Structure 1
Amino acid sequence: MVMCIKGIHIFISVFTASLFLAVTAWLTAPDGLNPLDAILKVYTTGLGNYFGTFFFIFVLGAIFGKLTAISGAADSVASFIIGKLGEKAVIPSVVVACAILAYGGVSVFVALFTVYSMMVSMFKKANLPRRLIPVVYFAGARSFVMIMPGSPQIQNLIPMKFLGTSATAGLVPGLLTAAFQVVLVIVYLSWLFRKVKASGEGWGDDDAVASKGNVPQSTAKDKPQPHVIVALLPMLILLLVLNLLKCDPAIALFCAIVAGLIIYARYLNWKAIISNLAAGTMEGVTSLFNTAVIVGFGALVIKLPAFQESFQTIANSGMSPLMVTAIAVGALVFISGSGSGALSIAMPLIASLFPAAVVDQGALHRVANVAAMSTTPPFN
């Protein structure tokens, strides 16, 4: 976690931690797993299995996100929401715009490129400090959306693979939990902004600070954009195929991509379409690899006697299977630094320990999903 926060590449950080874990575990138990096998067999197997299992979800999701960006669809949706709510409602407008994009299947990173320039303009006019832009953005794009039933985000899709559930599993508890989190997010942000305003902190005069480095910019500002209803159609198709037709997430994403290519046709630069989709593919592969290296670390963790003993102690404590799931997933999030990584590590164990005869799988799905967002570090 410290290395990631310091900006060291995720693979170097995770591999260093994995090597340290393998060596120290071997020193404390010499007849156990030796460091060479721990890295070459356990770590790489965990990494490879995750990469293969979720390859199409990550890649197709990134391609769909790229399609919404280059067509101007994401810009259209964000501009419409923010324009309707107005600059006087900075917090709700940005949160709602980001949430709709994320729930529509646009990746967190693509949505950031879409709304960043609008957020800068709104914050500057309202004289709000630029350091709070990430807080408001992630409040909309990466909080309650990730735990809402029906969400096409990876944290809601992973439990499906192991429990045989749908994306809407645990519908009512999931919606209530998401609504509760929406209230908490809005209340907290309102309090935070009042506090900042009371202290006299504002946007500041040093605009050079905000322009250093690679500042995200929208990709479709200088060309015609689809009407907001047209822009939303492929996103709605994604949600319908995923949630009503109960198709595999990869199939739902593929259908959304085909729909996007047809519906956004007049807004696409067809001469550059292959290079743009290839760029989206590489973004998906990069995101998948970064998560897979964390899953490899988690695969190593669960092989250690200390983890096995701890997990068995929790599992046999007499607590509800839902409580066991929440604790196990939450602990692995903190250990691995990744919500999706923790789910991929924990769900095979949980699925085998708590089959449908023991606990409702929909409830298990939703609890695991919520727990995956409980202790996620800010660098994830």
Structure 2
Amino acid sequence: MNFGILVLLLALILFGLLAFKQISALILAPLVTIFVIVCSGLPILESLKTAFMPAASDYVTSYFLIFFVGALFGAVYQHTGAAESISKTLAGLCKGKFVAPIIMTITGILTFGGVSGFVVFFVIYPIALNMFKEANVTRRLIPAAISAGCWTWSMYGPGSPSIQNVIAMNSLGTPATAAFIPSVIAAIGSYVLIFVWLEMRTRSFTKKGIVFKDTSLKFQLSAEEMEIDNDKNLPNFWISIIPIAAILICFNGIHLAVETSVFIGVALATILMWNRVKGINGWIAVFNEGAANSGVSILNTAIVVGFGGVVKNTQGFADLVELLKTFNMPALIFVMVTVAICAGACGSASGGMGVAFNALTDTYLSLGAHLEDVHRIAAIAAGTLDSLPHQGAQITLLGICKLTHKEAYFDIFITQIVIPFISCFLFIIVTAVL
């Protein structure tokens, strides 16, 4: 095997193993990046300054405001009881059943509605936490339920406003609803499989006696987070969903920027539920907590993006792209494999799609693939190997949920790598039949 490609493979394995050992991403990403730099024969300090840090800082520049307002929104919803109000109502409707699949569904609807996945993390987590608490279901499934809603069927369904769909549209000149019928079937198949898996795992954990209160978890919840008070005075359900509805209307209906839309949601929630927090000092504490959460979350993600910035500049990555061009397989399977590998190497679905389209679009066409089919299979495949343990979004979400890779990653692996690959093959089969 080409030495440069071997280095990248070893780096991904190292990243995954150390992530499972619960080493902070702030230490892990620079450490593995230096390993890649040294093995690739690049100057260490110069590479860190000219590739690693620019990639990380560009990410912070592009997304800090989204993280910031999203974290503020999440903090407001947690401390005013709005999240608990929504969760109690939903838990009552489903009578404590299908909690994880319902969280996955709600998350997907918000994401398909145009709310950024990172914003959804902060908005949904307090709702999910309370629903899982009410139903006495293990919180080990919260990360898989939330991220599956963000990064699977809602990301690659036809018409999705996701960045993956937009990249394919811009690169290939195809519509948002490209390959509509097989896309719908693949998205529905993905949703059903994830729904079944999450419910099956819920019942399996409960049968083993693993429920919400779990002293074996590394990070324990606070007394406030563990408390169940059925007599607690909570905001009205309809009042609680008004700010969320406002975000969706502002972003999708009025077409305001997502940062502006979420800020409006924060302001509206603060006004509507002002009396739910004790005075100005209480609100300052809420906003301080949200601001602190946003800083930690975006740094955990940006630092991993920095790793991808170095990887894309190595000869090993260039050799990997050239190697992929030599694969001899059916057109859509070739697209699936190449996009998935690029996404895994970059640790990013959007980054992997960008690299694959830039390097391989002519190859896809030479194999006889239709552009609309390439669009959709690439969007699905990009959401597979990008979800390996080094992905910044997963590290961020696990941090928000106060869980480790060891405790929660297996269900992420099934719902966001195994099932999307199944959806890829379902799409290919339907496309062949039609």
TM-score by length of 2: 0.66
Cα contact 1:156–1:369 (8 A) shared by 2: no
In structure 1, C-alpha distance between the alignment counterparts of 2:278 and 2:199, rounded to whole Å: 41
Change (3 A) 1:320 1:376: same
Cα contact 1:114–1:218 (8 A) shared by 2: no
Tell me the equivalent position of 1:142.
147
How big is each residue's C-alpha offset from its partner over 1:26-62, in whole Å with a ceiling of 9 and x where there is no partner?
A: 0xxxxxx422321121111111111111111111221
How big is each residue's C-alpha offset from its partner over 1:310-352, in whole Å with a ceiling of 9 and x where there is no partner?
A: 224446879999877754553355345x5xxx14533554565
Q: Which residue of 308, 313, 317 corresponds with 1:298? A: 308
The letter for the 2-side match of 1:122 is A
Matches within 5 A, 1:230-379: 230-271=239-280, 272-314=282-324, 326-335=336-345, 338=347, 342-343=348-349, 345-346=351-352, 348-349=354-355, 364=375, 367-368=378-379, 371-377=382-388
Q: How many angstroms does 1:12 deviate by?
A: 1.1
In structure 1, C-alpha distance between the alignment counterparts of 2:377 and 2:287, rounded to whole Å: 33
Tell me the equivalent position of 2:135.
122
In structure 1, C-alpha distance between the alignment counterparts of 2:242 and 2:155, rounded to whole Å: 16
In structure 2, C-alpha distance between the alignment counterparts of 1:253 and 1:370, rounded to whole Å: 30
Cα contact 1:102–1:108 (8 A) shared by 2: no
Quote the sequence identity (%): 19
Report the more deviating stretch, 95-104 or 59-68: 95-104
Tell me the equivalent position of 2:57.
48
Q: How many angstroms does 1:278 deviate by?
A: 2.6
In structure 1, C-alpha distance between the alignment counterparts of 2:374 and 2:70, rounded to whole Å: 26
Change (3 A) 1:247 1:109: closer
Q: Please give the secondary structure, in 1, of the residue aligned with 2:215.
A: helix
Q: Please give the secondary structure, in 2, of the residue aligned with 1:240.
A: helix
How big is each residue's C-alpha offset from its partner over 1:120-179, in whole Å with a ceiling of 9 and x where there is no partner?
A: 45347xxxxx4xx423x234312134345489xxx96544886787xx944857665443
Which consecutive residues of structure 2, in runs of 5 or more, have no partner in the other structure? 1-15, 396-434
Tell me the equivalent position of 2:21.
6
Cα contact 2:133–2:226 (8 A) shared by 1: no
Cα contact 1:330–1:371 (8 A) shared by 2: yes
Q: How many angstroms does 1:261 deviate by?
A: 2.6
RMSD: 4.0
Tell me the equivalent position of 2:99.
93
Change (3 A) 1:149 1:184: closer
In structure 1, C-alpha distance between the alignment counterparts of 2:187 and 2:279, rounded to whole Å: 39
Change (3 A) 1:16 1:196: closer
Tell me the equivalent position of 2:209.
202
Matches within 5 A, 1:159-170: 159=164, 169-170=176-177
Q: How many angstroms does 1:75 deviate by?
A: 1.2
Q: Which residue of 68, 75, 82 corresponds with 1:73? A: 82
Tell me the equivalent position of 1:30.
none
Change (3 A) 1:62 1:120: closer
Tell me the equivalent position of 2:411.
none
Cα contact 1:72–1:225 (8 A) shared by 2: yes
In structure 2, C-alpha distance between the alignment counterparts of 1:232 and 1:325, rounded to whole Å: 41
The letter for the 2-side match of 1:345 is G
Which consecutive residues of structure 1, in runs of 5 or more, have no partner in the other structure? 27-32, 125-129
Cα contact 2:349–2:382 (8 A) shared by 1: no
Change (3 A) 1:85 1:270: same
Change (3 A) 1:220 1:62: farther
Q: How many angstroms does 1:96 deviate by?
A: 0.9
Report the more deviating stretch, 54-63 or 326-335: 326-335
The letter for the 2-side match of 1:116 is L
The letter for the 2-side match of 1:7 is Q
Q: Please give the secondary structure, in 1, of the residue aligned with 2:388.
A: coil
Q: Please give the secondary structure, in 1, of the residue aligned with 2:235.
A: coil
In structure 2, C-alpha distance between the alignment counterparts of 1:183 and 1:241, rounded to whole Å: 30
In structure 1, C-alpha distance between the alignment counterparts of 2:155 and 2:237, rounded to whole Å: 21
